[in-house]
């Protein structure tokens, strides 16, 4: 018995040392992972907050005017908003789309846009055949479903369809060549301030011409795109490649608000495919940039930027909640007949519900299969 006590003590000490070594190893791994994350965050390019703010405003307006009652009750406001909200979104998308990647990286990006797009477009098309919505389909067939997924999308998902097509052809037109011309495109400064007939500017002009030709053929020749939507994406590309700094492309000054108000007096300007409509988009973006720089309270700013960083879930899932809004619409209209209370409740419901679905997908691991990421938000 006396000899067993030291053995037990030695065994206890060894076991304790083993446990402590495992804990130390686990802690060191966590510290190493944390340090690596910090380094990656420092290397990552900082987001442009103004762009997230713009995306927040545009996506919120999209949700608001997807409410059928609001659009039907306030048709002039709807026409005004439709003149600039998605054109502005496409312009920002053209600016942000990254073409400095490999073909494999581009394919991965397109894949994880296409999968959620195809799933939701299929669901929307099926729903349109079952429910009495504005885009009702009387007889759904496989051919109609394939047509809506690949050629003529319906509902709000046309934006992702347009983004994929424009992004692919933007990449093709601006793909960095290998060989003797590759050194021409290594400089990071805007190219146009150099000699107008320099080789750099000739190449840049050729790329813009090629991309414009692609988009025109896809719009007028194939009918896959709206020429106006393609044009706004192209403007975003031009700002990225020529100006560089998005803020410098728009006059974020107080007078843009006054000019915008004057411009909106004439309803004939409410056409995104016209020069007047393009001016409206220009003035709206300039005015929003000026509003942002005034200084928004920090909690509200954080909310706006969070929404702007996570517009994909809202684009995908908000139609579910704008359709559900029809069920409680009569109740809220009895409380407040102008529809403003219904508007606020429905937009908040759609945003919270969309993020709730995304959170559940993150927690359950579905996001990995649906978005290609373990956690989207």
Q: Which residues of 328-341 are buried (b: 16+ CB within 10 A; e: fewer)?
A: ebeebeeeeeebee
- pLDDT value of residue 362: 92
Residue 334 structural domain: 310-377
Does residue 229 sit within a domain? no
% of the chain at pLDDT higher than 90: 51
Q: Is the dihedral of CA 349, 352, 356, 358 positive or negative?
A: positive
Does residue 49 sit within a domain? no
Number of domains observed in the structure of the chain: 1
The span from the CA of 12 to the CA of 109, in Å, is 54
pLDDT tens digits for 221-256? 787 888 999 999 999 999 998 888 888 888 888 888
What integer best gives the mean pLDDT of the chain?
82
The span from the CA of 247 to the CA of 243, in Å, is 9
- pLDDT value of residue 271: 92
**Which residues lie below 8 Å from residue 57, measured CB to CB, with a gap of 6+?**
85, 288, 304
At residue 169 the predicted structure's pLDDT band, cuts being 50, 70 and 90, is very high
Does residue 372 sit within a domain? yes
Does residue 114 sit within a domain? no
CA distance readout (Å), 328 to 124, 334, 339: 21, 10, 12
CA distance readout (Å), 148 to 124, 136, 137, 143: 10, 13, 11, 9
Asked if residues 87 and 232 have their Cβ atoms less than 8 Å apart, the reply is: yes
**67 torsion bin: left (phi>0), alpha (psi -120 to 50), beta (else):** beta
Mean pLDDT for the stretch of residues 262-277: 92
The span from the CA of 139 to the CA of 130, in Å, is 10
Residue with tokens 């997807």: 66
Tokens of 48: 């442009």
- pLDDT value of residue 43: 42
- pLDDT value of residue 19: 52
Residue 377 pLDDT > 60:
yes
Mean pLDDT for the stretch of residues 346-368: 93
Distance between terminal CA atoms of the chain? 61
Residue 44 pLDDT > 70:
no
pLDDT tens digits for 188-208? 555 445 455 566 777 777 787
Tokens of 259: 């000019």
Between 148 and 355, the higher pLDDT residue = 355
pLDDT tens digits for 54-66? 999 999 999 999 9
Reduce the DSSP state of residue 43 to 3 states and report it: helix
Does residue 366 sit within a domain? yes
Does residue 39 sit within a domain? no
Question: What are the phi and psi torsion angles at 80 (to 5°)?
Answer: -65, -50
Residue 355 pLDDT > 80:
yes
pLDDT tens digits for 298-341? 999 999 999 999 999 999 999 999 989 999 999 999 999 999 99
Enumerate the H helices of 175-254 as residue ranges: 199-216, 227-238
Does residue 339 sit within a domain? yes
Mean pLDDT for the stretch of residues 41-47: 53
Mean pLDDT for the stretch of residues 72-90: 94
Question: Which one, of 259, 239, 263, 305, lies nearest residue 93 by Cα?
Answer: 239
Does residue 24 sit within a domain? no
Between 197 and 168, the higher pLDDT residue = 168
The span from the CA of 62 to the CA of 312, in Å, is 12
Tokens of 360: 């559940």
- pLDDT value of residue 351: 96
Residue 286 pLDDT > 90:
yes
% of the chain at pLDDT higher than 70: 80
**Which residues lie below 8 Å from residue 326, measured CB to CB, with a gap of 6+?**
68, 69
**133 torsion bin: left (phi>0), alpha (psi -120 to 50), beta (else):** beta
At residue 358 the predicted structure's pLDDT band, cuts being 50, 70 and 90, is very high
- pLDDT value of residue 369: 87
Inter-axis angle of helices 227-238 and 75-96, to 10 degrees?
40
The span from the CA of 20 to the CA of 2, in Å, is 28
In terms of average pLDDT, the best of 14-23, 31-40, 344-353 is 344-353
At residue 41 the predicted structure's pLDDT band, cuts being 50, 70 and 90, is very low
Question: What are the phi and psi torsion angles at 9 (to 5°)?
Answer: -65, -40
């Amino acid at each position: 018995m006396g000899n067993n006590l030291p053995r037990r003590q030695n065994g206890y000490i060894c076991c304790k040392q083993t446990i402590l070594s495992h804990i130390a190893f686990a802690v060191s791994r966590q510290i190493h992972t944390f340090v690596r994350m910090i380094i990656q965050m420092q290397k990552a390019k900082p987001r442009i907050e103004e762009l997230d703010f713009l995306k927040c405003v545009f996506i919120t307006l999209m949700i608001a005017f997807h409410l059928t009652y609001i659009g039907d009750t306030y048709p002039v406001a709807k026409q005004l908003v439709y003149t600039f909200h998605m054109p502005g979104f496409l312009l920002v998308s053209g600016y942000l789309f990254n073409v400095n990647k490999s073909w494999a990286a581009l394919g991965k990006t397109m894949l994880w846009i296409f999968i959620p797009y195809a799933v939701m477009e299929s669901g929307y098309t099926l729903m349109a055949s079952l429910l009495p919505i504005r885009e009702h389909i009387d007889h759904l067939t496989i051919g109609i479903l394939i047509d809506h997924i690949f050629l003529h999308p319906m509902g709000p998902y046309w934006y992702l369809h347009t983004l994929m097509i424009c992004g692919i052809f933007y990449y093709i037109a601006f793909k960095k060549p290998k060989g003797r011309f590759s050194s021409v495109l290594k400089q990071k400064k805007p190219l146009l301030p150099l000699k107008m007939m320099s080789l750099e500017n000739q190449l840049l002009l050729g790329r813009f011409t090629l991309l414009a030709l692609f988009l025109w053929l896809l719009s007028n020749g194939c009918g896959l795109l709206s020429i106006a939507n393609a044009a706004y994406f192209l403007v975003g590309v031009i700002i990225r490649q020529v100006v560089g700094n998005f803020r410098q492309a728009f006059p974020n000054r107080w007078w843009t608000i006054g000019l915008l108000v004057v411009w909106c007096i004439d309803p004939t300007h409410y056409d995104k495919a016209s020069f007047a409509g393009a001016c409206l988009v220009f003035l709206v973006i300039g005015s929003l940039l000026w509003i942002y720089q005034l200084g928004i309270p920090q909690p509200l700013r954080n909310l706006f930027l969070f929404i702007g960083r996570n517009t994909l879930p809202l684009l995908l899932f908000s139609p579910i909640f704008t359709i559900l809004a029809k069920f409680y619409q009569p109740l809220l209209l009895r409380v407040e007949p102008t529809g403003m209370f219904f508007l606020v409740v429905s937009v908040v419901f759609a945003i919270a519900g969309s993020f709730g679905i995304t959170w559940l997908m993150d927690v359950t691991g579905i996001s990995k299969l649906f978005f290609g990421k373990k956690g989207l938000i």
